[in-house]
A and B are shown apart, each in its own frame.
Chain A
Amino acid sequence: MADAGMLRFHVPEPEVRPGGTPDFSNVTIPNAGSVPRPEIDVDPRAIRDMAFSIIRVLNRNGEAVGPWAGLLSDDELLEGLRHMMTLRSFDQRMQMAQRQGKTSFYMQHLGEEAVSCAFRKALTKGDMNFPTYRQAGLLIADGYPMVTMMNQIYSNEADPLKGRQLPIMYSSKEHGFFSISGNLATQYIQAVGWAMASAISNDSRIAAAWIGDGSTAESDFHAALVFASTYKAPVVLNVVNNQWAISTFQGIARGGSGTFAARGLGFGIPSLRVDGNDYLAVHAVAKWAAERARSNLGPTLVEYVTYRVGAHSSSDDPSAYRPKAESDAWPLGDPIVRLKNHLIQRGVWSDERHAQAEAEILETVIAAQKEAESHGTLHAGGKPSARDMFEGVYAEMPPHLRRQRQQAGV
């Protein structure tokens, strides 16, 4: 009904604040297997409703069902489970190391492990991710050495980035992992540029862009969608909607569009939503999008619906802005538990083997940690030299930096 008169200013609010009872009844969760799987060359206009649904494979009984199921073998799924468990264990140890003062900062993935771990397995060697700070599963699932990650986190003498970057801002061209900026959204358009370059070069490699729900509000996100759409760039445009941008609920960035996937519709980009806590669904959708990119069909936007169980970072305290038990109420469950149950249901896994694997993984992570710490931690032991600070600003050090290095006496 029309409501002319005094104007009112609207600021969206989450359903529940600290002290309240967590409530996700407004999040519609379609049944697993209920969303169709179109051909990769589908007319984007024919699948607009997919931007408002959620593709799911694992049902409540741990069964893989529907048209997106059946892409991965049991061995591949067991490997995926191990990657997610490794990432979780790695996070726990590094979070603790931060609390022990061994580094300045840490960001964990708790609850979001499936997104990056499963996505990596949909890519091919040579493809390039432009990640945010919460996709270390891309490295773990590609076999990047944990000890090298830890060396970076500790900024020690073996840090491949020479102590120049904040912890977890990894970089590995070899493992298809673009240097993390720490500025938000800048990498999104860079990923599109990388993909354009691959097409210009008649290459076969594709790019993957990563962004969180909150940062989709940055103008770089919109620039990326325009460029990807205009040049049909071979890129997968990932949006990880973990419900929270530090203390800001996703409704502040989303506004009235309903979903983040819907942002892609105006650009004519096929836009899908997927259960981000379902390893099989993430992998299947990523594979579909990667195949589209590699077949000259252009970009796909994928929104991963997940939940950030942990704090934003080691500097954050979520109890100040959301109910403590909210993560328990999250309707899509825990990605590790869900894949574990599926594998048990398949008869290839058990609670005993899971507990044993947990112990083995912890041992491996602790061994890597010991090795990394033998090269130093942020405030103790071996560290990059002050001389390293002046190197690498340019390919060749210009005279003014040489003078400053002399002044610094290093």
Chain B
Amino acid sequence: MPRRTMIEAIRDAMDVSMARDSQVIVFGEDVGFFGGVFRCTQGLQAKYGKSRCFDAPISEAGIVGSAIGMAAYGLKPCVEVQFADYVYPAYDQIVSEAARLRYRSNGDFTCPIVVRMPTGGGIFGGQTHSQSPEALFTHVSGLKVVVPSNPHDAKGLLIAAIEDPDPVIFLEPKRLYNGPFDGHHDRPVTPWSKHELGEVADGHYTVPLGKAVIRRPGAAVTVLAYGTMVYVAEAAAGEAGIDAEIIDLRTLLPLDLETIVASVKKTGRCVVVHEATLTSGFGAELSALVQENCFYHLEAPVARVAGWDTPYPHAQEWDYFPGPARVGRALVETLEA
């Protein structure tokens, strides 16, 4: 099976979708001729023409707003916001419009759009190229929120998102574009070509939205993670010698609560990890759900490891980023509690 980077897998997902369905169109800033600043749309304009893959003005509200109108017409736009940090001008369009169109029109109009955006830190991007705003979207009724952690899933989830009848926020951990980063920033990164999840089948397949996957089975403690933090958790568990069960949530909304509850009931302990800031982060929701559903099975408080409640700093990136040392400490403390 061919090995692909996450960028190639994402590009392949759009390529496959555009080839299968002429209603699928792709646009965004630098997305057309150049193929995107991360090259996720490279070659699509040459292959499908300027009507189906084109450059947009620097206006996130314009990109998402026009995509909503296109979806109301009957197209299936898959748009790129260059960095998740830039999505805020489009927030009104996403929250007040895309998310509610089906509901407020009682299905008269619908909004099958995908808004792709690179998320997360680890690239010395400072506060404007490193944020993880997923909780701003999981709080919105009517959206689906997806965070893939590897090329295989990224392709299958993106095809599923494009085919979904409702708006999907598709957050791509940019630190994973070229390899499974485990938080050890001082070590060389394994490329996807040397990782089994870099195996990406040709052609059409989907990974269903709303289904988590157990990346590492274990009995001592459940770790709930998504995106880059899946690999950080794996490294932390391995280095601390802890028999952790690591769940890659893949879709945050709707959430695969069943898989989470089954695991925590088995292990009796739970650590939630994400890059995003702690307070009112998605970890708060996960933690609440675990205590609501697994209270009598819990042997320790649910722990959270997250970004500090500061803007994402530049020089202090590795003090900020919740790396394997912090996650490892939380695992040990949860086992000792």
Tell which of A160, A197, A226, A393 touches B70, judged by Cβ atoms closer than 8 Å.
A197
The verdict on B310 contacting chain A, using a C-beta distance below 8 Å, is: no
A171 touches B102 (CB 8 A): no
B178: which A residues are within 8 A, CB to CB?
none
The verdict on B165 contacting chain A, using a C-beta distance below 8 Å, is: yes
B68: which A residues are within 8 A, CB to CB?
190, 193
B67: which A residues are within 8 A, CB to CB?
193
- Listed by A's residue number, 29 A-B pairs whose Cβ atoms lie within 8 Å are A128-B73, A130-B69, A160-B108, A164-B104, A169-B104, A172-B108, A173-B105, A186-B93, A186-B96, A189-B69, A189-B93, A190-B66, A190-B68, A190-B97, A191-B69, A192-B66, A192-B69, A194-B70, A201-B73, A224-B62, A224-B65, A226-B59, A227-B59, A230-B57, A392-B102, A392-B107, A394-B144, A394-B166, A400-B254
A164 touches B69 (CB 8 A): no
A171 touches B69 (CB 8 A): no
B61: which A residues are within 8 A, CB to CB?
189, 219-220, 223
Tell which of A164, A171, A220 touches B65, judged by Cβ atoms closer than 8 Å.
A220
The verdict on B110 contacting chain A, using a C-beta distance below 8 Å, is: yes
The verdict on A1 contacting chain B, using a C-beta distance below 8 Å, is: no
B109: which A residues are within 8 A, CB to CB?
171, 173, 178-179
B254: which A residues are within 8 A, CB to CB?
398-400
B104 touches A165 (CB 8 A): yes
For the complex, give the distance between the alpha carbons of A398 and B59 in Å. Answer: 32
Instruction: Looking at the assembled complex, report how far the CB atom of A255 sits from the nearest CB atom of chain B, in whole angstroms.
Output: 21
Q: What is the chain A residue whose CB lies nearest that of B22? A: A201
The verdict on A315 contacting chain B, using a C-beta distance below 8 Å, is: no
A395 touches B65 (CB 8 A): no
The verdict on A6 contacting chain B, using a C-beta distance below 8 Å, is: no
The verdict on B36 contacting chain A, using a C-beta distance below 8 Å, is: no
Instruction: Looking at the assembled complex, report how far the CB atom of A4 sits from the nearest CB atom of chain B, in whole angstroms.
Output: 36
Query: Chain A interface: which size bin?
Result: 35 or more
> Contacts A223-B65, A399-B254: A392 and B103 contacting too (C-beta < 8 A)?
yes
A226: which B residues are within 8 A, CB to CB?
57, 59, 62
> Contacts A226-B59, A393-B141, A395-B166: A161 and B69 contacting too (C-beta < 8 A)?
no
The verdict on A343 contacting chain B, using a C-beta distance below 8 Å, is: no
Interface membership of chain B positions 184-196, coded 1 if the CB is closer than 8 angstroms to chain A and 0 otherwise: 0000000000000
B242: which A residues are within 8 A, CB to CB?
none
Q: What is the chain B residue whose CB lies nearest that of A400? A: B254
The verdict on A200 contacting chain B, using a C-beta distance below 8 Å, is: yes
For the complex, give the distance between the alpha carbons of A165 and B108 in Å. Answer: 13
For the complex, give the distance between the alpha carbons of A194 and B92 in Å. Answer: 18
Instruction: Looking at the assembled complex, report how far the CB atom of A176 sits from the nearest CB atom of chain B, in whole angstroms.
Output: 12
Interface membership of chain A positions 391-407, coded 1 if the CB is closer than 8 angstroms to chain B and 0 otherwise: 01111001110000000
For the complex, give the distance between the alpha carbons of A192 and B62 in Å. Answer: 9
Interface membership of chain B positions 157-187, coded 1 if the CB is closer than 8 angstroms to chain A and 0 otherwise: 0000000011000000000000000000000
Chain A, 195-229, CB within 8 A of any chain B CB: 195-198, 200-201, 207, 219-220, 223-224, 226-227
A173, A196, A198, A227: most-surrounded residue (chain B CB, <10 A):
A196
The verdict on A162 contacting chain B, using a C-beta distance below 8 Å, is: yes
A193 touches B66 (CB 8 A): yes
For the complex, give the distance between the alpha carbons of A230 and B59 in Å. Answer: 12
Interface membership of chain B positions 79-110, coded 1 if the CB is closer than 8 angstroms to chain A and 0 otherwise: 00000000001001100110001111111111
A223 touches B75 (CB 8 A): no
Instruction: Looking at the assembled complex, report how far the CB atom of A236 sits from the nearest CB atom of chain B, in whole angstroms.
Output: 14
Q: What is the chain A residue whose CB lies nearest that of B210? A: A398
A189, A194, A195, A219: most-surrounded residue (chain B CB, <10 A):
A189
Q: What is the chain B residue whose CB lies nearest that of A209? A: B69
Chain A, 372-396, CB within 8 A of any chain B CB: 392-395
A161 touches B166 (CB 8 A): no
B97 touches A200 (CB 8 A): no
A164 touches B103 (CB 8 A): yes
Instruction: Looking at the assembled complex, report how far the CB atom of A140 sits from the nearest CB atom of chain B, in whole angstroms.
Output: 18
A188: which B residues are within 8 A, CB to CB?
65
Instruction: Looking at the assembled complex, report how far the CB atom of B256 sits from the nearest CB atom of chain A, in whole angstroms.
Output: 9
> Contacts A171-B109, A179-B109, A393-B141: A197 and B59 contacting too (C-beta < 8 A)?
no
Tell which of B57, B73, B96 touches A197, judged by Cβ atoms closer than 8 Å.
B73
List the 6 closest pairs (A to B, CB-CB), nearest first: A193-B69, A193-B66, A223-B62, A189-B65, A398-B254, A190-B69
Q: What is the chain B residue whose CB lies nearest that of A384? A: B106
B258: which A residues are within 8 A, CB to CB?
399
Instruction: Looking at the assembled complex, report how far the CB atom of B49 sits from the nearest CB atom of chain A, in whole angstroms.
Output: 10
Instruction: Looking at the assembled complex, report how far the CB atom of A234 sits from the nearest CB atom of chain B, in whole angstroms.
Output: 12
For the complex, give the distance between the alpha carbons of A51 and B57 in Å. Answer: 25
B106 touches A171 (CB 8 A): yes
Instruction: Looking at the assembled complex, report how far the CB atom of B89 sits from the nearest CB atom of chain A, in whole angstroms.
Output: 7
Instruction: Looking at the assembled complex, report how far the CB atom of A394 sits from the nearest CB atom of chain B, in whole angstroms.
Output: 5
The verdict on A25 contacting chain B, using a C-beta distance below 8 Å, is: no
B284: which A residues are within 8 A, CB to CB?
none
For the complex, give the distance between the alpha carbons of A200 and B25 in Å. Answer: 9
B106 touches A189 (CB 8 A): no
For the complex, give the distance between the alpha carbons of A207 and B102 in Å. Answer: 20
The verdict on B52 contacting chain A, using a C-beta distance below 8 Å, is: yes
The verdict on A183 contacting chain B, using a C-beta distance below 8 Å, is: yes
For the complex, give the distance between the alpha carbons of A346 and B75 in Å. Answer: 48
Q: What is the chain B residue whose CB lies nearest that of A200? A: B51
Chain A, 48-87, CB within 8 A of any chain B CB: none
Q: What is the chain A residue whose CB lies nearest that of B72? A: A194
